[in-house]
Chains A and B, each alone.
Chain A
Amino acid sequence: MSLRFLQAVALGVALLSGCASQPTGRGEAPSNEAVMAVLGTVRALHHEADVFESAGDFERASDAVRRILALQYPRNMAEAEDLRADAYGRLAELALRRAAPDEALSLADTGLRDTHRESVLRARLMMVRGQSLGALADRAHAAADELGARRLREQAVEALEASIALNQRLLQRLADGGAP
């Protein structure tokens, strides 16, 4: 477990200690314990995926990341959208590494539908979408489908340019001192 995570946990516990006894009801933020449990589980599953990915086992790495998406997130957990967007992005990248651009494109599109906040995670989903379309364009070109290849290539570049534009806006916001 990384030192940074331990520091974050320590800081989180310190901050939570002042409000751990707040009641939780419908429409309110989930309990601290529930949030901590979900965050810890997500982290563990990303670690598991790291282990498999570093061994070249992209299938089992993908299985670990899919379990993140299958988690029951506490109601009104603000971080859930980002956690899911991150998981969709990683899953799509793993699909690309498995030479499965169709699946990667589908995962990226699902992630984009599931994510509404402008963030680096949404920009990453756009980028993976572009990479997937690029790979599909290559496939069409290899199959002598030049028209399809050109259309897919154009869509890919559009998605990539959209990703660049979003990241530029986020960088500008960060430079201006705001949240991304």
Chain B
Amino acid sequence: MRRTASAVLAAGLLGLGCAASPAYRGAAPYSRTVTVASTPSEPSTTESSTGYAQPPSTAPRPARVDRPAATVDLDREPVQPAPPAAQPGSVTVQSLSESPASSVQGGAATDDGERTVREARIGAQVQRIREEQIRLASNPGICHDVCFAAGSICLAAQEVCRLTGDSDARCARARGACADAGRQRDGSCPVCPPTR
């Protein structure tokens, strides 16, 4: 029990020390952004929730929260847009855009039942994401390590590419490792613990 308590405290302390490292502070495989795809007349907004820098050598693949298509039957109530991630941090919510009838085209009437089902499905997904965030937030030690390791991989990849040149096979392999680490991190830790 004492070791567990010490480990908890050590994790907090190492969170401070490691967090000062560029591996945690300055680089993330992908930017922790949520891009809200707006209708053409609206400006797009990009939020960087935790201040992670984007390594120049990696292409960002921001999580997208797609609003329903703009072609909406005007006779119907406007479809409620999917809420952006309520918690800070990146949330991959592809399933929101995959929900059936997210695009209502040609003025075809969709009955209220279908809309209710769709909204319930979206609500369930949002709820699942929030529950997952709460679960992960209760275990910041693991997510600290995941985020730190992923950040370190990308920093190392950046340096490998600087030393070998972008066209070198070792650079390509390192970049691949960075991309894999980013996917792994996004899958297990949608929100990295704060660095302070």
Q: Give residues in A with beta carbon < 8 Å to B.
A: 2, 4-5, 8-9, 11-13, 15-16, 18-19, 22, 29, 32, 35-36, 39, 42-43, 46-47, 49-50, 53, 77-79, 82-83, 86-87, 89-90, 93, 120-121, 123-124, 127, 130-131, 134, 137, 153, 156-157, 160-161, 163-164, 167-168, 170-171, 174-175, 180
Contacts and interface: CB of A to CB of B under 8 A. Distances in A.
B6 A79 contact: yes
Contacts of B117: none
B20 interface: yes
A50 B23 contact: no
> What's the interface size class on B, roughly?
35 or more
A26 B177 CA distance: 45
Contact of B181 (A12, A124, A153, A167): A167
Interface of B: 1-18, 20-23, 140, 142, 145-146, 148-150, 152-153, 155-157, 159-160, 162-164, 170, 174, 177, 180-181, 184-185, 188, 193-194, 196
B196 A124 contact: no
A153 B20 contact: no
Q: Is the interface of B mostly helix, strand, loop or mixed?
A: helix
A127 B156 contact: yes
Q: Is the interface of A mostly helix, strand, loop or mixed?
A: helix
Contacts of A93: 21-22
A49 B180 CA distance: 33
Tell which of B21, B150, B174, B193 has the most Cβ of chain A within 10 Å: B21
